[in-house]
Structure 1
Amino acid sequence: MKDAFSYIRFSSPEQAKGDSFRRQSEKADAWAKANGYRIVKSWEDLGVSGYRGQNATKGDFGEFLRAAAAGELARDSVLLVENLDRVSRQAPRKALSRFLSLIDCGIGVVTLTDGALYTAESLDQDKSGMLLFGSLMVMIRANNESRVKGERVAAAWERKRLAARDKAHRLSDRIPGWLTPGRDEAGRRTCTENTKRAGIVRRIFEETVQGLGHRAIAKGLNRDGELSFLSQTAWQPSSVSKIIRSRAAMG
């Protein structure tokens, strides 16, 4: 049996709660079984953007590309992806270059949505050029979709920033756990300090300066009967770490 590699990517952490991972996994398994391949390794970039190429520079896909370029992967093996936009949503020139460089390493690319197999041989033998042209059109569409979405999100945040400046509206309903939301006499949103919780934040920073680790700080808070802000349960080292790293604590 020939080797296959599956690659699963989605952009936002929220998608992990949905059906994306299961759908992509099952499609890869089904194709491999039906075509005489075995999946020898799965690569995953969950919650990693393909628009700015982060999956290829910081994610698992970057490791896959380096292994392919180094000749560590068997030639004639294939990469299984749901669609080409899982590989990249960058500008079409960059996406096409990465796609072709992978194929030049002897790795085929299978798009599970339509069952298309892209290899050096299939592209070279396609006299009409439609196979390559079709892949380029997918890349153009994916990049345009991400660009438009980015522009809409940026415009929405700009409106929120203006509302925050002119009408004292909070940018988001999510505020630091040591603040209490409210409204003034004019009905505008306000935030006031929760004295008890702010004291806990100061304690966390003071104990950090003293050299205590996140685990030791969490144990001390739990020993004193303090509850974490969001879950109202015992403190975890990760919760302490988030407060230490949060820029919101700077005011």
Structure 2
Amino acid sequence: MPKRSAAVATLVDLYLRLSIDKEGEDSLERQEADLRAWAAREGLTVRKVWRDAGVSGYKANIARPDFEKAVAAVLAGEVGTLAVWKLDRLSRRGAGQIGTLLDDFSAVGGRLYFLKDSLDSSGSGHRMVIVMVSEQACAESANTSLRVRSKKDSSRRAGHYLGGPPPFGYDVGADRKLRQNPDKAVLVRVLVDRLLAGESMLAVCRDWNLRGIPTRGRGKEWRSSAVSMTVRSSVLSGLVPEKRRAEDGPGKRATNSTAWRDPETGETVSLMADGEAPILSESERLRLLDTLDSRLRRYGRGLRTVKQPKSLLGGLIMCASCQRSANTFGNSYRCRRVHYDGQDCQRPLVVSVTTIEAAVRHAWAYGLAALEPDSPVLAAETLGEHTVSVSSSEGNGVYLTSREAATIAHLANPRRGSVRTPSAYQTPRQ
């Protein structure tokens, strides 16, 4: 096993995780306090504390950014030990993941320590126990998942609302049944009529935001996606929904929601309280969806959002007229002409991707070449404090912090070909 330097061997990183961020005996604060006390007793210096709050250690499709960084730090030789409060805080995915970590850490001379389990990957005979405990943690999660699914299926059969904020237009009673909210139900009914009449979701969002109508959750501004989810869900017609994962990637969910059917009877299940009628019948909701989907097909779009192509400057370019970021649409960077808050852009930005990227490369390359050797812009510690701008006589411009622009500096190599420098901005055609 490779040996770490004496300095690195005395450094320890702490990894904290909790699926539900709460106070208690295994809270993140308690985990950190116990691990720091252990490190002090062992004569180790805590270098970094990594936290994944409210993140599952069992589900394979859930990203754990700090877990990845903590492991990478050990493998890179930045720290000698990664300490965790308990093994199931590090992972609940069993011997597959833990075994790989043990092999990788052993190959670089790294160490895993689990405080409450009193297990040390560098200890004699501990490796086998670690693998066994990891399998136990995985089995516990699998059993918990099974119980939760069983409980949800039972709630679905009984027509109970599973939880979360009440669906827009409804109230949820103590019996977990839906009842129409007198004020919001009228809004939903009018919303449906407006959409069937050909009005866009964006227009409805602007209207509702100007009128101060809150969303169902934390009262945020309405967006087209929120309106779409409201009218597509089978909850709108008072039926238990079945959300299916989208095919686009792990953890993603499709925007449409079909009605759940009881596996035994094959029938849909109502969420409505006795004597209560839904805002829309299922046939009315399906007719609305057919109308909305026909509009999408007319513009060459399916039921899911069109993926935006990866771009060099997406989200970094700012429209000088409305001070909003611009993203790519086709072969151009464009500012959204009409915003959800009702503020229209008077001179929306429209610029060719090729043109603006060439202009930014040109400005960045020549800007760097003109700097003095002792310029603070060249110091990595101060890059984020400086700004590079490209503008034109029309008053439009793109503004990048040096840290952001550094990500495209490698494109400034003159051997890539000549760089044309026409006006980077074009006035949109009327």
Alignment CA distance shift 1:195-1:85 (3 Å): same
Q: Which has the higher helix share?
A: 1
Asked whether the equivalents of residues 94 and 131 of structure 2 are also in contact (C-alpha less than 8 Å), the reply is no
1:104 maps to 107
- List aligned pairs for 1:172-211, cutoff 5 A: 172=163, 174-181=165-172, 189-196=177-184, 199=187, 209-210=202-203
Alignment CA distance shift 1:29-1:181 (3 Å): closer
Code of the residue aligned with 2:37 in structure 1: it is A
1:13-59: CA deviations, max 9, x gaps?
xx42444112101011111211121111111111111112456x543
Asked whether the equivalents of residues 112 and 121 of structure 2 are also in contact (C-alpha less than 8 Å), the reply is yes
2:78 maps to 73
Code of the residue aligned with 2:84 in structure 1: it is V
Per the TM alignment, residue 153 of structure 1 is displaced from its structure 2 partner at its CA by: 0.6
Aligned residue-pair number: 218
Does residue 131 of structure 2 align to residue 117 of structure 1?
Answer: no
TM-score by length of 1: 0.69
RMSD between superposed Cα atoms in Å: 3.8
Asked whether the equivalents of residues 180 and 191 of structure 1 are also in contact (C-alpha less than 8 Å), the reply is yes
Moved more, 174-183 or 241-250: 241-250
Asked whether the equivalents of residues 24 and 82 of structure 1 are also in contact (C-alpha less than 8 Å), the reply is yes
Alignment CA distance shift 1:35-1:198 (3 Å): farther
Q: Distance in 2 between matches of 1:33 and 1:242?
A: 53
Asked whether the equivalents of residues 110 and 116 of structure 1 are also in contact (C-alpha less than 8 Å), the reply is yes
1:159 maps to 154
Q: RCO (CA 8 Å, sep 6+): is it higher in 1 or 2?
A: 1
Code of the residue aligned with 2:72 in structure 1: it is R
- List aligned pairs for 1:1-251, cutoff 5 A: 2-12=10-20, 15-19=21-25, 20-53=27-60, 57-69=63-75, 71=76, 73-74=78-79, 77-119=80-122, 122=123, 126=124, 129=125, 131-164=126-159, 169-172=160-163, 174-181=165-172, 189-196=177-184, 199=187, 209-210=202-203, 220-222=210-212, 235-236=219-220, 240=222, 244=226, 247-251=229-233
Greater Cα radius of gyration, structure 1 or 2: 2
Asked whether the equivalents of residues 74 and 82 of structure 2 are also in contact (C-alpha less than 8 Å), the reply is no
Code of the residue aligned with 1:162 in structure 2: it is R
**What is the SS of the residue equivalent to 1:16?**
coil
Gaps of 5+ in 1: none
TM-score by length of 2: 0.43
Alignment CA distance shift 1:157-1:144 (3 Å): same
Alignment CA distance shift 1:86-1:174 (3 Å): same
Q: Distance in 1 between matches of 2:117 and 2:35?
A: 12
Q: Distance in 1 between matches of 2:40 and 2:51?
A: 20
Per the TM alignment, residue 171 of structure 1 is displaced from its structure 2 partner at its CA by: 3.7
Gaps of 5+ in 2: 1-6, 234-430
Code of the residue aligned with 2:148 in structure 1: it is V
Asked whether the equivalents of residues 7 and 79 of structure 1 are also in contact (C-alpha less than 8 Å), the reply is yes
Q: Distance in 1 between matches of 2:228 and 2:66?
A: 26
Instruction: Give the 4+ runs in structure 1 shifted more than 4 A.
Output: 205-208, 210-213, 226-231, 240-243
Q: Distance in 2 between matches of 1:242 and 1:33?
A: 53
Per the TM alignment, residue 81 of structure 1 is displaced from its structure 2 partner at its CA by: 0.3
Alignment CA distance shift 1:221-1:110 (3 Å): farther
Per the TM alignment, residue 180 of structure 1 is displaced from its structure 2 partner at its CA by: 2.6
Q: Distance in 1 between matches of 2:77 and 2:88?
A: 25
Alignment CA distance shift 1:73-1:6 (3 Å): same
Alignment CA distance shift 1:133-1:72 (3 Å): closer
Moved more, 19-28 or 2-11: 19-28
**What is the SS of the residue equivalent to 2:156?**
helix
Code of the residue aligned with 1:60 in structure 2: it is D
Q: Distance in 1 between matches of 2:223 and 2:167?
A: 14
